[in-house]
Amino acid sequence: MAAEANPGKQLESEFGGISYLRVPIKTRLIGPDDDLIELVTTFAGPELVSGDVLFVTEKIVAITQGRAYPMESIHPRGLAIRLSRHVTKTPNGIGLGLPETMEMALRECGVPRILFAAAVAAITKFFGRKGDFYRLAGPQARGIDGPTAGTIPPYNSQVVLAPLHPQKVALTLKSIVPSAVDVLIVDLNDLGGNILGSTLDAKTTRGLERVLQDNPLGQGHESTPMGIIRTLS
């Protein structure tokens, strides 16, 4: 494998006394008409060997499921506009701080759940506690990606929702890769990440989540939406 790290990233990581190689896999620009199985077979398949773990970003899973929406196609209701004004905006991501992303959260999670999460968050924020809105709104709200300047076009002007059935997707992909290869569906950014679907046991999955915390795939124009974890020692 001709392993090459993304700019500012490292190929190797160590956790629990074990060294791992994390190899980004470059692909073409992926769109809603692409087939995820074909993408994995074409780009990752030739590089996989027994014992590898293939990790695939939730974003390309969602895109191939048709869950990316141009901003101009989303028409926020008044409630979405009002709620978005109260979302803390940070340099690390827009989250639901746009009327369009909040509108999609209302559609995905339902108005009652979003209103409940917002009400509780308003109270707990007064006491200095943060993060309750996203905890209560749930993974479908947390998984909404808003447009950012650093994202590869056309997704720098689109809202991408969380993927549907990530555990099922992981199991499907495992069925088409070599038998001794496992699969993770991951949600990574430069602040850390989560594993949404896994064909490994819970303990191993938690460990590999730590192995990927520095996001070796990058956060911008790298065009590396999948990668391979290989144990070195």
Whether pLDDT at 133 is above 80 = yes
Domain range list for the chain: 12-67+163-231, 70-156
Q: For the whole prediction, is pTM greater than 0.85?
A: yes
pLDDT-derived band at 125, boundaries 50, 70, 90: confident
pLDDT at 88: 72
pLDDT-derived band at 80, boundaries 50, 70, 90: very high
Q: What percent of the chain has pLDDT over 70?
A: 96
User: Whole-angstrom distance between the N-terminal and C-terminal Cα of the chain?
Assistant: 17
Residue 90, judged by CB atoms within 10 A of its CB (0-12, 13-18, 19+), counts as: exposed
Strand partners of residue 12 = 21
Structural fold of domain 12-67+163-231: 60s Ribosomal Protein L30; Chain: A; (3.30.1330)
